[in-house]
Amino acid sequence: MPRRHLPRGEDFLLLPPSIQPYAYRIVDQLFAHRVIRCGPAPRDLPRGEEIAPRYIADGREHDVASFMDRNVISGLLVIRHGKVVLERYGLGLGEHDRWSTMSTVKSMTAMLVGAAVRDGAIASIDEPLTRYLPALGNSAYEGVTLRHVMTMSSGVRWNEDYTDRNSDVNRYSKSLADKVPGGVLRLMASLPRAQPAGSAFLYNSGDTYLLGAALTQAIGKPLADYMSEKIWRPAGMECDAFYTLESEGGQEIGGSRAGMVLRDFGRFGQFVLDDGVIDGKRVMPEEWVEAAATPAFALATPPVVDITHYGYSWWLGKGVMAALGHAGQRIDIFRDEGLVVVTLGAFPQPLYAPPADHNRRNEVVAFTQAVRTI
């Protein structure tokens, strides 16, 4: 019998370049998922005069086409003062194809926490996780707060090495691929403590899973439904999106592998740029975006040349708050400049990248800096 071959979900963080662009467009076919419903009519994104940024890399000047080809870019969107001034698609991505958010959705989930605070479902982000997730009682997460997991400072031991098949993040990934009910929560509850909660930054995708799970309990409904109610429908998103789930019908993964179309990445960035206000209605508390953009921790080893600190699940640098994701996903928000830049990609992973390969993350920064000067 004819059968369709799909990449193995457990290999999602280890895919070769030949498979990445395909897999990143079909994440909802590789993992359990729940739809984030859009409204009946999208909000128009007006067009401004198109820009043509140029930048220097490896001693040569490059234009937009060169940037996309050199850096395996699938989607590029620039919104300035509410108007689209650049929009490009590559690697077979279409306007209405959903591309994996990777970890950029961590930053989006943190905005939903703000909505729950405004709604009174969460009294304080200094409440303990165990108030919402009692299964974590007597684990290393005892005494860890919502703030701690939102700022990656739970103090729990975690290995986020994507190239190590036995790392914690790949054990987490395999549980998602196998669709094990409660599997991620049990994994997180089994981890030992490494240092006191709140004392240091350690990037931990499992922390954001727990943040999303606690948020689900606080609001009493699925994250996908809450995202639709609070942001997706009011903000006029163009297409349905999705959260991936830990199992069929189970808990959303608040920190990775969601999917949405390029222009809706941009609309989310604009929502943050607008301080969480849609049509005059405030979705998040006043000062929530400002708090999210306030450094909680300085980074000893920044992941990108322009990033120096971490806030409420947002990466921070001079003038920028950024959502960063595996393999080249990035949403840059320049609040003082009214600018949103979205770059989606399929950066080759260390197992496959040649030793002399250039640093694509840093080249995205060079491109974005060129956009800012126009």
**Per-residue pLDDT tens for 329-352?**
999 999 999 999 999 999 999 889
295/227 Cα distance (integer angstroms)? 25
In a domain, 183, yes or no: yes
Confidence of residue 356 (pLDDT cuts 50, 70, 90): confident
Q: Is 260 inside a domain boundary? A: yes
Has residue 279 been placed in a domain?
yes
Q: Is residue 2 part of a domain?
A: no
* 23-57 pLDDT per residue, tens: 999 999 999 999 999 999 999 999 999 999 999 99
Q: 140: domain range? A: 9-373
Q: Is residue 3 part of a domain?
A: no
pLDDT level of residue 355 (50, 70, 90 thresholds): confident
**Is residue 4 one of the residues assigned to a domain?**
no
* Contacts with 125 (C-beta within 8 Å, 6 or more apart), sequence order: 113, 117, 145, 146, 147, 150
* pLDDT(370) > 90: yes
Residues of the chain with pLDDT > 90, as a percent, come to 98
* Lookup: tokens for 140: 């290393």
State the CATH number of the domain containing residue 233: 3.40.710.10
Note whether residue 216 is domain-resident. Answer: yes
Return the number of other C-beta atoms located less than 10 Å from residue 46's C-beta: 9
Structural domains of the chain, count: 1
> What's residue 1's pLDDT?
92
pLDDT of residue 35: 98
Whether pLDDT at 161 is above 90: yes
CA angle, 231 as apex, 255 and 274 as ends, to 5°? 100
The crossing angle, in degrees rounded to 10, of helices 168-178 and 205-219 is: 50
Q: Supply the pLDDT for residue 162.
A: 92
